[in-house]
Amino acid sequence: MTKSALSSVLFLLCCPNAAAFSLSMGSESRAAASDIFGSRRSFLSKSVATAVVGGTSIFSQPQPSLAVTAKEIITTPAGVKYAVTQEPTDKKPAAPLKGDIVAIDYKDIFLMDRSSMPPIREEKNNALLFKLGSGSVIPGLDDVVAQMVVGQKVQAIIPPSLAYGEKGVCLDDGECLIKPGSTLVYDVFLKRSSIPPP
């Protein structure tokens, strides 16, 4: 229960006549209420004072924190936004370099486009092995993996310019698997990074 709701309940419990006191009372009712409460001003000041004194003891108790810690949003120089959702367990995690072979698990959370509200679709986890910086994946995925360390999981928002752009991924019959102008949202887990064979 929020503090304001708790204050209102406490006010009504401390002042049982408060619920019956109305500003739209007729003149006879106002006269009767005036006899009971004095003036509205004294009624309100007494009621508020009672509620404050009674409520102070409730609110002076330590309250658990209801705030959720927000993840830091990081923006790469290319424009991909991401948040780290899982830190690596290794004390000295390896960071991949351009040209390394990386193994990732990724999940396409949803696609955001200009014509519909997310989530459009949700995919299962996929495994992918590629050479970092070789252009074998969309630029945004390449960019975010280059910022990660092995064992780290991030959620990345990839803008259309670093994904499939205004072309999208469309079939010959006109059906689009990824609509033009779509922003992609991925969960990415970097499993491994290794130097490529000679």
pLDDT over 70 for what percent of the chain? Answer: 58
For residue 12, the model assigns a pLDDT of: 42
**Backbone φ and ψ of 110, nearest 5°:** -165, 165
**Distance in angstroms (rounded) separating the CA atoms of residues 192 and 98:** 14
Residue 133: CB atoms within 10 A of its CB come to 18
C-alpha distances in angstroms, 181 versus 50, 131, 187? 60, 26, 20
The 10s digit of each residue's pLDDT in 126-149 is 899 999 999 999 999 999 999 999
Confidence grade of residue 177 (pLDDT, cut at 50, 70, 90): confident
User: At 192, is the secondary structure helix, strand, or coil?
Assistant: strand
Mean pLDDT of 172-193: 91
Report the range of poorest mean pLDDT among 13-17, 53-57, 88-92, 122-126: 13-17
What does the pLDDT look like over 85-128, one tens digit per residue? 999 988 899 999 999 999 999 998 766 554 544 444 556 788 99
Classify each residue of 160-190 as buried b or exposed e, where b means 16 or more C-beta atoms within 10 Å of its C-beta: bebbbeeebeeeeeeeeebbbbbbbbbbbbb
pTM: 0.59
Strand (E) positions, the chain? 74-75, 81-86, 101-112, 126-131, 153-158, 169-170, 176-178, 183-194
Pick the range with the lowest mean pLDDT from 109-118, 125-134, 150-159, 183-192. Answer: 109-118
Q: For the chain, first and last CA: distance in Å? A: 64
